[in-house]
Amino acid sequence: MRYATARARGFPIGSGVTEGACKPVVTACFKRSDQRWSERCLSGCWTVRAQRLSERLRSSGGAMEGAYLREIRAA
């Protein structure tokens, strides 16, 4: 990010508001009773959630398919 340019134009460059908003979102979505998440799984969930909220999920489905879908076989 070009902090000097942003500051010169009067844009806020602090991350406090964004970081403060993350805590209740993470708590509401992923810290419910008896839930455990690996970092890899949580990363995938955040990717899907962000793309759904930004209305880009349908257009990116093909690209994500290879990264997050795996074949399941009975043991």
CA distance 59 to 64: 10
Does this model's pTM top 0.75?
no
DSSP-assigned letters across all residues of 56-73: -HHHHHHHHHHHH-----
Of 5 and 14, which is predicted with more confidence? Answer: 5
CA distance 7 to 2: 9
17-75 residue pLDDT tens? 777 877 787 777 777 778 777 777 777 788 878 887 887 777 766 666 666 667 778 87
pLDDT for res 67: 67
pLDDT for res 17: 75
